[in-house]
Amino acid sequence: MSDDSFLDEKGLGRAVPSSRVSRFMRLGGMTAGIGGRMLMDGAKQMASGQRPKVQDLLLTPTNAKKITHQLAQMRGAAMKMGQLMSMDTGEFLPREMTDILARLRADADHMPPQQLRTVLDKQWGKGWISKFSQFNVRPIASASIGQVHRARTKDGHDLAIKVQYPGVRNSIDSDVSNVASLLRLSGLIPKTLDVGPLMEEARRQLHEEADYVREGAQMDRFHALLADTPAFRVPRLYPDLSGPDVLAMDFIESVPIETLRDAPQALRDDVVTKLLELVMTELFTFHLMQTDPNFANYRYDPGTGQIVLLDFGATRAFTDDFAAGFRALLRAGLAGDLEEMRQAAIQIGYFTDGLKAHNQHSIMQMMELSMTPLRQGGLYDFADTSMSAQMRDIGMELGTDREVWHIPPPDVLFMNRKFGGLYLLATMLKARVDIRSIMQRYA
């Protein structure tokens, strides 16, 4: 294979803004443009006798399209935070905005061949193309932090190679600060809420996800942990081709997990059951969890029936005490013991003992409702969305009471993110699962 293959793809992709200044200008320009439209729209509404709210002026379809367009071009931490916002299913953000933000869970813009070659030259040295009999310049996937290419080595290994966008690692801190400023501008976050610890945790998490050496080590750990579990397959790492900006692994033929929505009911049930068992094993046995709920991290191999697990950048270790707190909550939930549930929730950090009694009651009402599938026994039908609708209603009521607003510990947030993503996947697949029998094995 020769360097000419890159020239054949001339004009492909959009360059990633890699300097801190250029990224700041992009976000600053986006914020200024949105702010200008807010002032104009606000003036129009006031002229017609209305008293507009700041969040109503910000969260418009026009502004959401501008945000997603700009974040998709920037990639990096800015896009990653937009993806997390898009995981909302209409409970907190307007449905129109979450639909538009959902674009960020699809492919990002990818970098052009020349920028790609610059990254690979830095990682592998010039002339690296001679190591491959085939290297597809057009990526097979593009995400917030990097893009993935398929390649075949001269000795016949079929690889997936993840290449990090240039400048992403150095822009994390400024991206997080700028997106946080946009959230504060929206008025969605009360001024009394200290989001500093959460922003610091977001920075730490994103720095870890941008550390491909760390991700490779975590992928190796999961490969070993699940080696004797035939239901799952984890790609094998190729350390000689991996480094800070490049991660090389086995390419595994598979299909997106979403394609199973049209599969037979028994297959959908089996896949979701295995994923629920895996997340419980991660929490209570491994004390190690891949916390990114993006559906793209799960694929299915029709040939072997295995679930393929990808992307271990968001892997998080939990302490014995943390797992013990959730085990206590699980046992109390299975037993229907509300006071034990309350004590476990306080121990974990969902709320403090000093929270007003009626607010504690509302939170416990939501928590008890979420435990319903655990206590009822038999198959729980995720196609029935009545429970999630009830939880949404309680959540909306809680969300309007700013005395309740409290940021739980980071471990709780990231674990809940994983559980929430898995719930959305199970709902999409309309699976039927005996949740109680799974949970009883870990209680």
Q: What residues are labeled active site?
A: 292
Tell me how far apart the terminal alpha carbons of the chain are, to the nearest angstrom: 56
Among residues 40, 60, 42, 59, the alpha carbon closest in space to that of 51 is found at 42
The number of beta carbons lying within 10 Å of the beta carbon of residue 107 is 15
| Dihedral sign (CA 428, 431, 435, 441) | negative
- At 47, list the tokens: 């002229």
Q: Provide the pairing of β-strand 132-135 with 380-381.
A: unpaired
In contact, 431 and 305? CB cutoff 8 Å: no
Query: 431: which residues sit within 8 A by CB, 6+ positions away?
Result: 268, 269, 271, 272, 273, 382
Q: At what angle do helices 76-86 and 20-47 cross, to 10 degrees?
A: 40
- Pairwise CA distance, residues 17 & 316, whole Å: 29
Tokens matching residue 276: 């629920």
| 340 vs 331: CA distance, rounded Å | 9
Q: What stretches of 226-319 show up as alpha helix (H) in DSSP?
A: 265-281
DSSP-derived secondary structure for 170-225:
HHHHHHHHHHHHHHHHHT-S-TTS--HHHHHHHHHHHHHHT-HHHHHHHHHHHHHH
Query: Cα–Cα distance between 118 and 335 in angstroms, integer?
Result: 59
Q: How far is Cα 168 from Cα 84, in angstroms, rounded to an integer?
A: 17
Q: Which residue has 């290297």 as its token pair?
A: 135
**Cα separation of 247 and 162, whole Å?**
5
* CA-based max dimension of the chain: 73
- Angle (CA) 203-207-211 rounded to 5° is 170
3-state secondary structure of 352: coil
Q: What is the DSSP letter of 283?
A: I
